[in-house]
Amino acid sequence: MFFPIDKIRSEFPILHQQIYNRPLVYFDNAASTQKPVQVIDAIRHYYEHDNCNIHRGVHYLSMKATEAYEEARKEIREFINARSTHEIIFTKGATESLNLVASSFGKRYIKPGDEVISTIMEHHSSFVPWQQMCLEHGAGFRVAGINERGELDLDELYGMINEKTRLIVLTHVSNVLGTINPVKEIIAVAHRNNIPVLIDGAQGVSHLQVDMQDLDCDFYCFSGHKMYAPMGIGVLYGKEKYLEELPPYQLGGEMIKEVYVDHTTFNELPFKFEAGTPNVEGVAGLRAAVHYLKELGMENIAMYEENLLKYASGKLANLDGMKIYGTAVHKTSLISFLIGDIHPYDVGTIIDKMGIAVRTGHHCAMPLMNYLKIPGTVRASFAFYNTLQEIDLLVSAIVKAKKMLE
Ligand code: PLP
């Protein structure tokens, strides 16, 4: 397969810098990805040509900005194959999307004694809103575990389903283990029991082709900044039948139809969930990022990244004292590891001075760290602009760090 890696790398200006007199090697893509010039240019173009508050303006710029914003919504709909643009809500990111559903779903559907099922591999952004929502409404919060490869224990998960279950919430891909969960199968089982499912796709959309109608999930969310788009913009997908029934999350301009002294009627979808002036610049950047990903092709990206993962896994697994957390059969291009009893921060700090950016710590997944009985890991996460040569640099940096620390 031909993958135009040189051209791709030339489109990411930030990668071409020296830090500590060494070329920057960026392996912190699960935290946030870098932005191609196409995305940077789209934001610049927006401010140079289109900037204006959107909706209801009768003047040229307002209509132009509104049109671009709504065109972007159509393209996001197409990108994830949702049925309707009514199902695409622009948010600040995955965290806001998750809080929105936890708050509104909790108010509408959750009663004392009900249960929500989730998993031990959730990011705090998903774990904490559901945990707190359950505490608030007197509901039970049940959490399924994983096997030794870091794959979800499906028997345990399915065994938790009962007549009290109101929702199943899980991540598409673990940000610590890289595990790709069999979400389509889980959704089918949940639906046979009339239970809706929310998928946290924050680590999914940048690696996998996602299709809302094929998955048949009820809610799906993601952040722009993890898929080569700007920070502060994200998406909540929700089936229209649920979004129609849920109460609004935030109140204010844009989300209303009519306001009187004694009552207010709410706007139609998707505006009911988009209170206030939205992040129009972010939407312009997100649209450009979606174009970029479509042009590269999600299948090509997945193939290229799988090769990076295989290469890195093989090299790292051979190092003395190396323990890799997350060896699922289906996983995305990230590797979490510890070496002997060396603290992850020490490894991260030393290899940073060699120009290599990895993430260290609990990765916003403390329940998982407690389950694994470790304080944290070193996480190297790869994107399609990374190379095998960079992985070689990582491996030799780890060997040097290990020598220094032992
Ligand atoms: N869910 C997962 C699996 C994540 O990895 C992250 C971020 O790392 C989030 C949710 C939260 O994303 P954001 O901080 O962009 O809202």
Task: Give the CATH number, domain containing residue 213.
Answer: 3.40.640.10
For 185-237, what is each residue's pLDDT tens digit?
Answer: 999 999 999 999 999 999 999 999 999 999 999 999 999 999 999 999 999 99
The finding on whether 178 has its CB within 6 A of some atom of ligand 1 is no
Best probe residue, ligand 1, of 33, 90, 91, 95 (max atoms within 8 Å of C-beta): 95
**Angstrom distances, CA of residue 38 to CA of 66, 288, 289, 292:** 21, 6, 7, 8
Q: Which of 295, 327, 345 is the last residue of a domain?
A: 295
- Do residues 60 and 170 both lie within one domain? yes
Q: Strand runs (DSSP E) across 201-255, as ranges?
A: 219-223, 234-238
Across the range 235-247, mean pLDDT stands at 98
The finding on whether 204 has its CB within 6 A of some atom of ligand 1 is no
The finding on whether 248 has its CB within 6 A of some atom of ligand 1 is no
Distance 398 CA to ligand 1 centre (A): 27
- Checking if the pLDDT of 1 tops 80, the result is no
Please identify, by atom number, the ligand 1 atom nearest to the C-alpha of residue 94. 16
- Within a domain: residue 243? yes
The finding on whether 359 has its CB within 6 A of some atom of ligand 1 is no
User: What integer pLDDT is reported at residue 2 of this predicted model?
Assistant: 86
Across the range 23-43, mean pLDDT stands at 98
pLDDT band of residue 345 (cuts 50, 70, 90) is very high
Distance 174 CA to ligand 1 centre (A): 10
Is pTM beyond 0.85? Reply is yes
Residues 6+ apart with CB under 8 A from 199: 170, 171, 172, 183, 187, 215, 217, 219, 220, 221
Three-state secondary structure of 47-58: HHHHCCCCCCCC
Distance 95 CA to ligand 1 centre (A): 6
- Do residues 252 and 347 both lie within one domain? no
User: What integer pLDDT is reported at residue 203 of this predicted model?
Assistant: 98
Across the range 250-275, mean pLDDT stands at 97
Parent domain of 228: 40-295
Q: Exactly one of 134, 217, 221, 364 is catalytic; which is it? A: 364
User: What integer pLDDT is reported at residue 327 of this predicted model?
Assistant: 98
User: What integer pLDDT is reported at residue 240 of this predicted model?
Assistant: 98
User: What percent of the chain has a predicted confidence (pLDDT) above 90?
Assistant: 99
Helix or strand run (H / E) with residue 24: none
User: What integer pLDDT is reported at residue 398 of this predicted model?
Assistant: 98
- Within a domain: residue 35? no
The finding on whether 171 has its CB within 6 A of some atom of ligand 1 is yes
Domain count, the chain: 2
Q: Is 373 exposed, middle or buried (0-12, 13-18, 19+ CB in 10 A)?
A: exposed
Helix %, strand %, coil % of the chain (to 5): 45, 20, 35
- Do residues 326 and 365 both lie within one domain? yes
- Do residues 91 and 210 both lie within one domain? yes
- Amino acid code (one letter) for 230: P
Across the range 242-259, mean pLDDT stands at 97
CATH number for the domain harbouring residue 316: 3.90.1150.10
Q: Which of 261, 295, 329 is the last residue of a domain?
A: 295
- Do residues 10 and 110 both lie within one domain? no
- Do residues 242 and 113 both lie within one domain? yes
Give alpha helix (H) positions in 318-365.
344-352
pLDDT band of residue 57 (cuts 50, 70, 90) is confident
Is 364 designated active site? yes
Please identify, by atom number, the ligand 1 atom nearest to the C-alpha of residue 363. 8
- Do residues 169 and 45 both lie within one domain? yes
- Checking if the pLDDT of 361 tops 90, the result is yes
Distance of CA 368 to the CA centre of its chain: 17
The finding on whether 126 has its CB within 6 A of some atom of ligand 1 is yes
Q: For the chain, give the mean pLDDT.
A: 97
